Amino acid sequence: MYAPIAATNAFSPSRTPPAKRFSPDDRTEARPPAPRRAPPKVVRPAARLYGITRSSNGVVALIEADPKIPGAEFYRLGDRVGGDRLAAITDSTVVLQGSGGRVVLRLPEAPRP
Residue 11 forms part of a structural domain: no
Residue 17, in any domain of the structure: no
- At 33-47, the pLDDT tens digits run 778 877 665 555 578
Beta strand 58-64 with 73-75 is antiparallel
Residue 35 domain flag = no
Domain of 95 in residue numbering reads as 48-106
pLDDT of residue 15: 77
23 found inside a domain: no
Helix (H, G, I), strand (E, B) or coil at 104: strand
The three state secondary structure string of 27-88 is CCCCCCCCCCCCCCCCCCCCCEEEEEEEECCEEEEEEECCCCCCCCEEECCCCEECCEEEEE
Cα 53 to Cα 43, 71, 89: the distances in Å are: 29, 17, 10
pLDDT at 79: 95
Q: Evaluate whether residue 77 is within a structural domain.
A: yes
What's the domain count of the chain?
1
Q: Which residues of the chain carry a pLDDT beneath 70?
A: 1, 22-31, 39-45
Domain assignment present for residue 59? The answer is yes
| Residue 18 located in a structural domain | no
**pLDDT value at position 62?**
94
